[in-house]
């Protein structure tokens, strides 16, 4: 089961596109330039895949590559720095709301998914931003 204790918390007004704030007491990290990221907007860790290796919807490398902490992005989180992210894993007993940005950069609902593995949708844009918000269901 993927459920983990809360590792970090974000204020309600913070979203996945919020840039880290630099300052003397900051743990800010530079985000890696790339083509996509996945942001964990839930209250539990999120399994993520860097490069989808598998057949159809079955990921050949186990459940996921790493667990993304709450409130973090795959291009900025400590120990990640991925230039792209191809998939995510929703743990047993959880569902997730999937959001992305529209042509004006506004966050919009894309899908609601059940537990299991899924590759990140490719909408043919030059940069893909995805928020995954796991919740008990």
Averages of pLDDT over each 10 residues, the chain, 137 residues? 38 41 50 89 93 72 88 92 91 95 91 90 83 95
> For residue 106, what pLDDT is reported?
93
Residues 52 and 45 sit within 8 Å (Cβ to Cβ): no
Q: pTM of the predicted model, to two decimals? A: 0.73
The upper half-sphere exposure of residue 127, i.e. CA atoms within 13 Å in the direction of its Cβ, equals: 12
Q: Which residue in 73, 67, 79 sits closest to 128, CA to CA? A: 73
Beta-carbon count within 10 A of 105 CB:
8
| 3-state SS assignment for residue 76 | coil
Q: Any idea which residue has 């983990």 for tokens?
A: 4
> For residue 47, what pLDDT is reported?
92
Residues 80 and 66 sit within 8 Å (Cβ to Cβ): yes
Q: What tokens were used for 119?
A: 């590759």
Query: What's the DSSP call for residue 46?
Result: E
What are the residues facing 59 on neighbouring strands?
Answer: 54
> For residue 12, what pLDDT is reported?
35
Residues 85 and 50 sit within 8 Å (Cβ to Cβ): yes
State residue 124 phi and psi, 5-degree precision: 80, 20
Mention every residue, 6+ apart, whose C-beta is less than 8 A from residue 125: none
């Amino acid at each position: 089961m993927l459920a983990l204790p809360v590792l970090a918390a974000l204020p309600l007004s913070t979203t996945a596109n919020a840039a880290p704030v630099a300052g003397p007491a900051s743990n800010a990290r530079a985000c890696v330039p790339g083509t996509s990221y996945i942001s964990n907007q839930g209250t539990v860790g999120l399994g993520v895949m860097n490069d989808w290796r598998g057949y159809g919807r079955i990921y050949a490398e186990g459940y996921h590559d790493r667990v993304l902490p709450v409130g973090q992005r795959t291009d900025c989180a400590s120990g990640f720095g991925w230039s792209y992210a191809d998939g995510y894993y929703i743990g047993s007993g959880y569902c997730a709301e999937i959001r992305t940005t529209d042509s004006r950069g506004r966050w919009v609902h894309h899908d609601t998914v059940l537990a299991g593995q899924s590759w990140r949708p490719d909408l043919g844009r030059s940069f893909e931003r995805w928020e995954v918000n796991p919740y008990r269901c």
